[in-house]
Amino acid sequence: MALAGCRATVAAPSPATYLTRDSLLSEARRAARSGSRDLARELLEQRLSTWPDDDELRAELARVDAWDGRWAASEAGYRRVLARHPDDPEVRAGLVDVFLWQSRWDDASREIALGLERSPGSAMLLLRRARLAHWQGDATTAARSLDEAHRASPDDAEVRALRDVVFRGEARLAIRDDLFFARGGLRGYPAADLSVLQSWNTLRLSARTEQSLRFGVDEGSKSYNGLHFLGVAWVPRAGWMLHLELGVGAPAVAVPRWLGRLGMSAPLGSRLTASGSYSHWRYDSGQVVHLFNPALGVAVTDALRLEARYWFAWVLAPGPSGETLDDGVSSFGLRASWRPSSRFELGAEYTYGVQLDRLPVGLQLIAIRAHIVSLSADVRVSHAFGLRPAMRVELRTSPGDLLPILGPELGFYTRW
């Protein structure tokens, strides 16, 4: 009789049974950071079942729980470690993260204050204070805390990355020229934009001016134009903004004399952002423009962002017999931006729509349409200085006319 052989299946031993304590901690950290958090938790819990007072392992378990959104377990783990090590800034920073990720601002603020009392100058806690202020829209406190954190730990990559995003103020100068071929050769319509922005806690105050030569009413002519704006914005928290801007234009008749804009933006979840604005333009020749501009943006990845924009311009104009004429026109645009690092961004944009320029006679104001393709870059040369080169290609059309325009631009900005 043949004897059937059988083989017993022996389960592989858990790594917790043969790894040294330090090797187990390293393996758990590697697993957690590679996305295998269940394995990391299993290793840590098995070791803690034998050595429950190993606070370094317990703090690591609290960190893994936080990454998994197990807020109560994470908070309990951190507090258990802090009860024995109240002066450990790394553990307290982990507890602050738990509160920040839940938008528990008051709890986070209390822990940060307590931690800085016990560990003054801790870069970890100063960074958390900056994040809290930034998420609450307070650019002044965020920038000040980041400056302190940078002095305490100048090589900290997280501090440097957030410092590139947060700033108290900005001054920007952009110089451009609209170039096109006409009778007589190449013509240019230069322009310079200067703007200044200053933050005060959750308020943003701004002033800007545009000095330019624009198309005149007569063919081939030029008109000098100056547009001047003052603005104020309220940022109650990161991603939210309510903005008001008022402006005046002179002396070109092809641009508005009075301008006003009211806008807001708000996040819709973690990836979507909605914004909208209403603008009111009034020309010396009697036209009034009501401009509505909704937009929707989506963060496809942490680096890639897409945005769709729409404009509806409703124009009221005096008629030849004193009556009021009105008409409406739609415009739209698509923009993509790619930011692989906090110091470099590439952008591409396509816009089709009405120009609201050059022909301020009745409803001819909306006769000019354009296809515009723009490429741009934002290069942070240093923490305080950056460049914004751009190139715009425009195909401007009006009844019986087609005009290609090339618009190179170079912008400079400094931040503080």
pLDDT digits (tens, 9 = 90+) for 285-305: 888 999 999 999 999 999 999
> What pLDDT sits at residue 202?
95
- Among 176-180, 209-213, 317-321, 390-394, the range scoring the smallest mean pLDDT is 317-321
Nearest-angstrom CA–CA distance, 309 and 174 = 23
Which structure tokens are listed for 144?
């000040």
| Alpha-carbon distances, residue 187 vs 178, 326, 357 (angstroms) | 8, 34, 18
Top-tier CATH class for 169-415: mainly beta
The pLDDT value given to residue 8 = 45
What local confidence, expressed as pLDDT, does residue 125 receive? 97
Are 214 and 223 in contact by the 8 Å Cβ rule? The answer is yes
At 22, is the pLDDT very low, low, confident or very high (cuts 50, 70, 90)?
confident
Helices (runs of H) and strands (runs of E) counted in the chain = 9, 14
The pLDDT mean for the chain works out to: 88
Indicate the SS3 state at residue 196: strand
- Residue 171: band (very low, low, confident or very high) from pLDDT cuts 50, 70, 90: very high
Q: Is the pLDDT of residue 93 over 70?
A: yes
Closest CA to 284 of 360, 335, 213: 360
Instruction: Give the pLDDT score at 90.
Output: 94
| Domain 15-163 matches domain 169-415 at the CATH topology level | no
One-letter amino acid of 398: S
d(CA 256, CA 42): 68
Q: Please give the average per-residue pLDDT across 209-214, as a whole number.
A: 85
Query: What's the CA gap between 377 and 387, in Å, rounded?
Result: 8
Torsion-angle region of 338 (φ positive above 0: left; ψ -120 to 50: alpha; else: beta): beta
d(CA 23, CA 169): 48
User: Which pLDDT belongs to residue 358?
Assistant: 52
Helix then strand then coil, in percent of the chain rounded to 5, is 30, 45, 25
Q: Name the residue with tokens 């190179």.
A: 408
Which CATH superfamily groups domain 15-163? Tetratricopeptide repeat domain (1.25.40.10)
Per-residue pLDDT, 182: 72
Is residue 55's pLDDT more than 80?
yes
Query: Any idea where the domains of the chain sit in the sequence?
Result: 15-163, 169-415
Radius of gyration of the chain (CA): 29
Q: Where are the alpha helices (DSSP H) in 51-163?
A: 55-67, 71-84, 89-101, 105-118, 123-135, 139-152, 157-163
Query: For residue 39, which amino acid is it?
Result: L
Q: Strand, helix or coil at 107? A: helix
Instruction: Look up the pTM and report it.
Output: 0.80
